[in-house]
């Protein structure tokens, strides 16, 4: 039976209460280290800004703006880079000014040969850590615990959001930023942290909507590799060897520069530009033989492309156009048909219903219509699991409890004696009970579990094997 708005309401109501219990429990913060770390960051920032004062860039900046000169004023920085020093604007913002984000600054830095721009970026990152994360933790902490909120009534897709402080965007990718933040967050004394993430959740949920046989094959066979297959096609590689660092980079490039953007509704023109960044190739009509990543045989990617008839960006653009056509016209043709049908039905009705029973009604763009149901339903898998684990934790009077949630992951504060049992329950709920509960889930779900040592911070998690 299809789920109804009543099922959706019940899920929201139960979840609201389960999340409130996690909010009440909270996440332990080492307040002293947060304060010490803030002071250390301030010293670093002051030193960097002091050293920057004598550089060409900042001398010109101060000459123009005098006492109003401000490191955090991107309008000013844009003027100095693009007007004063004449760097070419590679990209503009929504309002038409030259972009000054990290990628834009790196390009400008090369062009006008001003290495001090890297120090500006460094300052920006340190201020983010100090003023957004550490300051937020300290502002919100009560007796050494932060109590992030989880909202269910805000996000247009029926996902959650989190605030005060936001627990869903704490640094993870950058090593230094991860250490500055996650290193001071802990489970209760004598407990350990456990994190359980659904693997490829949005791709799996999309497949439950469109049921494309080729996608179902990718998701159910252990030996197939969608990102690897596209890497081979895009970069003309016969055998992809993931132990080779360049091949591994090319696989990441295909995943993050083509496949995911395509799923969100991007097109080959943007993909070609993005892939060039990954592959270290310029957007020039003719590539030099010295350009591009170094391939396993010692040649460059430019040479490798030339052997396959791609001599520069224009050729590559045409190549990507064909790959996109094959991607949606052949490889995932059923997925494409679902997108067309789903969009058409929305345009007739003005709304659509998700597999989890929610109704999305309003004026939406094409990509939103395609992506909302997937994003929402994926989160609802996590949410249902969250409620179920919480229910079992209370029934069994565990000392372990749920303390947070990040879209496709749940975070627990676990008593070491209960670790085995908690893992068994989490696995059972997420990979068995959930599939029994919702018959629209036609693809098996996988969960990846990480855990820490007793009293170890959130920055130090290890994979659970078994």
Partner DNA sequence: TGTTCATGG
Partner DNA sequence: TATCCATGAACA
- Angle CA(284)–CA(290)–CA(296) in degrees, nearest 5? 115
Cα–Cα distances in angstroms (integers) from residue 269 to residues 188, 314, 317, 323, 328, in the given order? 50, 10, 7, 11, 15
C-beta of 212 vs 408, nearer to DNA: 408
**Closest distance between DNA and the C-beta of residue 61, in Å?**
11
Spatial CB neighbours of 226, under 8 Å, sequence gap ≥ 6:
215, 218, 259
Between residues 20 and 286, which has the closer beta carbon with respect to DNA? 20
Q: Is 292 left (phi over 0), alpha (psi -120 to 50) or beta?
A: left
CB of 397 to DNA, least distance (A): 31
Smallest gap from Cβ 179 to DNA, in A, equals 12
DSSP state of 290: T
- Rounded least distance, CB 44 to DNA, Å: 15
- Which residue number, 43 or 396, has a Cβ lying nearer to DNA? 43
Beta bridge partners of 28: 145, 186
Smallest distance, DNA to C-beta of residue 121, A? 6
**Which C-beta is closer to DNA: that of 272 or that of 423?**
272
Minimum Å gap between C-beta 425 and DNA is 22
Q: Least separation, in Å, of the C-beta of 217 and DNA?
A: 24
Q: How far apart are CA 119 and CA 77, in angstroms?
A: 13
What gap in Å lies between CA 244 and CA 342, rounded to an integer? 41
Q: How far is the CB of 457 from DNA (least distance, A)?
A: 16
Please name which of 400, 421, 420 lies closest in space to residue 411, comparing C-alpha atoms.
400
Nearest residue (CB) to DNA, 5 versus 154: 154
Half-sphere exposure of residue 457: CA atoms within 13 angstroms, side-chain side: 13
Residues 284, 296 contacting (CB under 8 angstroms): no
Name which of 33 and 147 has its Cβ closer to DNA: 147
Tokens of 401: 């409890």
Q: Which is nearer to DNA, 5 or 92 (CB)?
A: 92
**How far apart are CB 372 and DNA at their closest, in Å?**
6
Report CA Rg, the chain. 25
Nearer to DNA, 265 or 416 (CB): 265
Do residues 195 and 419 touch, judged by C-beta distance below 8 A? no
| Beta-carbon-side half-sphere exposure of residue 241 (alpha carbons within 13 Å) | 7
Which residues are near DNA by CB under 7 A?
A: 70, 72-76, 93-97, 99-102, 104-105, 121, 124-125, 127-128, 131-132, 135-136, 139, 151, 154-157, 159, 161-166, 168-174, 177-178, 197, 260-261, 264-267, 269-270, 274, 365-368, 371-372, 375, 406-409
Would you say 274 or 416 has its CB closer to DNA? 274
Tell me the sheet residues that pair with 333. Answer: none
């Amino acid at each position: 039976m299809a789920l109804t708005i009543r099922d959706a309401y019940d899920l929201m109501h139960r979840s609201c209460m389960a999340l409130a219990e996690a909010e009440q429990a909270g996440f332990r913060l080492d307040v002293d280290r947060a304060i010490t770390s803030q002071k250390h960051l301030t010293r670093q920032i002051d030193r960097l800004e002091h050293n920057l004062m004598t550089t060409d860039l900042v001398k010109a900046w101060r000459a123009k703006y005098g006492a109003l000169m401000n490191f955090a004023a991107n309008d000013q920085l844009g003027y100095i880079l693009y007007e004063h020093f004449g760097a070419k604007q590679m990209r503009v913002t929504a309002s038409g000014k030259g972009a000054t984000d990290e990628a834009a600054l790196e390009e400008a830095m090369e062009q006008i040969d001003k290495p001090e721009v890297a120090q500006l970026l460094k300052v920006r990152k340190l201020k983010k850590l100090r003023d957004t994360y550490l300051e937020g933790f300290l502002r919100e902490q009560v007796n050494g615990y932060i109590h992030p909120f989880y909202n269910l009534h805000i996000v247009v897709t029926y996902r959650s959001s989190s605030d005060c402080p936001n627990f869903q965007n704490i640094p993870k990718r950058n090593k230094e930023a991860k250490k500055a933040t996650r290193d001071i967050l802990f489970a209760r004394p004598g407990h350990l942290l456990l994190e359980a993430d659904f693997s490829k959740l949005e791709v799996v949920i999309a497949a439950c909507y469109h049921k494309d046989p080729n996608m179902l094959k990718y998701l159910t066979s252990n030996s197939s590799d969608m990102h690897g297959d596209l890497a081979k096609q895009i970069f003309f590689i016969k055998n992809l060897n993931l132990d080779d660092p360049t091949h591994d980079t090319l696989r990441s490039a295909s995943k993050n520069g083509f496949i995911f953007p395509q799923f969100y509704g991007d097109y080959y023109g943007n993909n070609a530009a993005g892939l060039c960044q990954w592959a270290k190739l310029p957007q020039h009509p003719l590539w030099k033989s010295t350009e591009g990543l170094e391939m396993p045989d010692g040649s460059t990617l430019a040479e490798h492309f030339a052997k396959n008839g791609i001599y520069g960006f224009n050729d590559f653009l045409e190549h990507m156009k064909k790959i996109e056509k094959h991607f949606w016209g052949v490889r995932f043709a059923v997925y494409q048909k679902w997108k067309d049908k789903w969009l058409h039905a929305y345009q007739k009705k003005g709304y659509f219903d998700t597999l989890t029973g929610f109704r999305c009604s309003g004026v939406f763009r094409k990509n939103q219509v395609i992506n909302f149901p997937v994003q929402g339903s994926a989160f609802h898998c996590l949410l249902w699991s969250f409620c179920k684990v919480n229910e079992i934790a209370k029934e069994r009077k565990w000392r372990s409890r749920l303390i947070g949630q990040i879209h496709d992951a749940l975070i627990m504060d676990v008593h070491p004696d209960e670790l085995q049992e908690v893992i068994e329950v989490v696995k059972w709920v997420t990979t068995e009970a959930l599939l029994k509960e919702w018959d629209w889930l036609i693809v098996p779900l996988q969960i990846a579990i990480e855990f820490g040592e007793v009293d170890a911070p959130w920055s130090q998690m290890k994979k659970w094997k078994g």
